[in-house]
């Protein structure tokens, strides 16, 4: 027997939970997999909303009328919606009607991916369809809808679910929303703490932005390498030192992130080659921009952590090919660098493996769906991925990671006996994929206490700030696959890239000098340059921020 409670009791309950409800209203429809089909012969007619332990039955037909009348239909349901703030009601209407599944082929691939299954597991807890605890009915219904229409709204899904009733657990949703809010507040607190640190330097002159324009003297060689682990040759860009540049002891392998292309990092390859470093940038088939294009066209599932073994073999093949003289890249000491998954690959290539207890740590994290740290989905997928045995490459001298991650794999001090070289980790305060408070700062604390290791954080930068796309220089959204605008790359991405280039160059120069002298110590720096604030932090400063 279901208890509906009195009207006055319900109003009081809703008022007590007004903040949570506003958050829930914004999240409900985005967690459901957001034209209208004819109703199936057997479909749910009742939506039950659970809040404060009370179950309130609503008619799905009333909900559909309320949505299609833009909130004008009068019923018992509209009375409860009237308790929400106007912006929350408008947001719910928009989300219920919005076609957030825009392409049926890509959606099917997403549903069948590892990350998609994690999302469906979470939805199965929030949206209970009869006794289906695994989300099977929801997944099947979405697939059936996709055979008949290109786009799906959450209202389409609710009307099509073949069940006697659908229960939406707002109690759990509010609990999850509270956890997400705490995650975001932790990141916002980091920004406030950074802003309170006194500046150690300021500059009125902006660093020069490297050009993407064609220059026959500063263009990479496009090369390919036959490898046993791939059907097609492994392609890579080779940036050789510019004529007249200083001779360097180091050379670099720079690995793009998931869905990334070597062309996205021409700015860094060109900048380093001008200063005398050779740089190799591999393509990584299966997790490059072509793989993302295949996802968008519905031909492939989204790549995830399962691509890491092939990426590590790509690196091994490149190092062996250079050692055998198949290509020339001057330098005696190797620097491994990468962006996001590329940075993660660099750390794994040193021989680092997940610390014991990853499955236990992930069971806790995935129960709260880390929407403000999406890298944790990739980290937890490693529970099911078999990584090849790896030893640190010969003559490895440093690791550089742009928007790196690994906090679940490597808690504090867990890498102290493995990664024995200095590291430079960079991040941005607008990054919700690899947030700096848990990823870059936390990762530095997992490393050995090397005096020259550091984290560089840029306020206003995001996960995609290091990615250069065509047209970005003119302020456009870009013309390549990524189509990155300011909402994704943060503020002034070209200036962020110029600052990061300066920090990489300084780090590399310091490592070369330490060959003949005692290893240099990372000097903390808090620099203001126009709207940008750059913070260079040593281990002690990083620890203070994490534990405040």
Question: Do 210 and 497 form a contact (C-beta atoms < 8 A)?
Answer: yes
pLDDT digit string, tens, across residues 387-406: 888 888 999 999 999 999 99
**Sorting pLDDT into bands at 50, 70 and 90, what band is 217?**
low
Q: How many CA within 13 A on the CB side of residue 70?
A: 0
**Residue linked to tokens 């070369």:** 512
Q: End-to-end CA distance of the chain: give it in Å, rounded.
A: 49
Model pTM greater than 0.85?
A: no
pLDDT digit string, tens, across residues 112-130: 566 666 666 666 666 777 7
Q: What's the confidence (pLDDT) of residue 308?
A: 94
Give the contacts of 333 (CB within 8 A, at least 6 positions apart): 249, 250, 251, 395, 396, 397, 511
Which part of the chain is CATH 3.40.50.1820?
197-546
**Residue linked to tokens 């590291």:** 423
321 pLDDT above the threshold of 90: yes
DSSP E strand boundaries for 290-438:
333-339, 396-402, 423-428
pLDDT digit string, tens, across residues 427-463: 998 888 899 988 999 999 998 888 999 999 999 898 9
Name the residue among 436, 402, 453 with its Cα closest to residue 545.
Answer: 436
Give the contacts of 90 (CB within 8 A, at least 6 positions apart): none
The arrangement of secondary structure in 197-546, i.e. its CATH architecture, is 3-Layer(aba) Sandwich (3.40)
């Amino acid at each position: 027997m279901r208890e509906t409670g009195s009207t006055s009791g319900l109003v009081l309950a809703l008022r007590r939970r007004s903040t949570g409800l506003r958050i829930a209203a914004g999240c409900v429809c985005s967690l459901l997999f957001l034209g209208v089909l004819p109703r199936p012969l057997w479909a749910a007619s009742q939506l039950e909303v659970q809040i404060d332990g009370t179950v309130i039955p609503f008619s799905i037909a009333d909900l559909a009328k309320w949505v299609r009348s833009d909130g004008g239909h009068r019923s018992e349901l509209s009375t409860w919606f009237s308790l929400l703030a106007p912006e929350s009601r408008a947001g719910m209407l928009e989300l219920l009607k919005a076609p957030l599944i825009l392409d049926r082929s890509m959606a099917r691939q997403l549903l069948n991916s590892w990350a998609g299954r994690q999302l469906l597991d979470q939805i199965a807890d929030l949206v209970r369809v009869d006794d289906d605890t695994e989300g099977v009915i929801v997944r099947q219904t979405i697939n059936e809808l996709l055979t008949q229409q290109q786009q799906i709204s959450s209202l389409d899904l609710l009307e099509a679910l073949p069940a006697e009733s659908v229960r939406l657990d707002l109690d759990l949703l509010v609990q999850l929303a509270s956890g997400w809010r705490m995650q975001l507040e932790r990141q916002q607190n980091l920004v406030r703490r950074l802003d309170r640190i006194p500046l150690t330097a300021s500059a009125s002159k902006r660093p020069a932005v490297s050009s993407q324009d064609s220059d026959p003297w500063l263009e990479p060689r496009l090369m390919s390498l036959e490898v046993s682990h791939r059907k097609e040759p492994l392609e890579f860009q080779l940036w050789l030192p510019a004529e007249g540049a200083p001779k360097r002891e180091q050379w670099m392998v720079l690995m793009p992130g998931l869905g990334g292309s070597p062309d996205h990092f021409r700015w860094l390859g060109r900048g380093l080659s001008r200063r005398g470093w050779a740089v190799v940038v591999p393509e990584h088939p299966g997790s490059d921009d072509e793989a993302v294009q295949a996802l968008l066209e519905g031909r492939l599932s989204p790549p995830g952590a399962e691509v890491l073994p092939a990426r590590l073999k790509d690196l091994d093949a490149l190092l062996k090919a250079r050692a055998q003289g198949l290509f020339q890249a001057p330098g005696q000491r190797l620097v491994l660098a990468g962006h996001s998954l590329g940075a993660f690959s660099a750390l794994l290539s040193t021989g680092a493996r997940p610390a014991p207890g990853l499955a236990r740590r992930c069971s806790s994290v995935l129960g709260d769906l880390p929407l403000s740290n999406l890298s944790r989905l990739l980290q937890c997928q490693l529970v099911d991925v078999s990584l090849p045995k790896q030893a640190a490459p010969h003559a490895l001298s440093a690791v550089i990671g742009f928007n790196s991650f690994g906090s679940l794999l490597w808690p504090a001090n867990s890498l102290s006996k493995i990664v024995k070289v200095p590291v430079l980790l960079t991040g941005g305060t607008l990054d919700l994929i690899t947030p700096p408070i848990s990823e870059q700062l936390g990762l530095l604390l997992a490393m050995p206490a090397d005096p020259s290791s550091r984290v560089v954080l840029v306020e206003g930068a995001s996960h995609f700030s290091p990615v250069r796309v065509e047209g970005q220089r003119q302020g456009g959204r870009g013309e390549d696959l990524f189509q990155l605008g300011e909402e994704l790359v943060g503020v002034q991405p070209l200036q962020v890239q110029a600052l990061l280039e300066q920090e990489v160059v300084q780090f590399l120069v310091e490592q070369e000098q330490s060959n003949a002298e005692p290893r240099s110590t990372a000097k903390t720096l808090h620099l203001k340059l126009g709207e940008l604030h750059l913070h260079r932090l040593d281990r002690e400063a990083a620890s203070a921020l994490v534990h405040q």
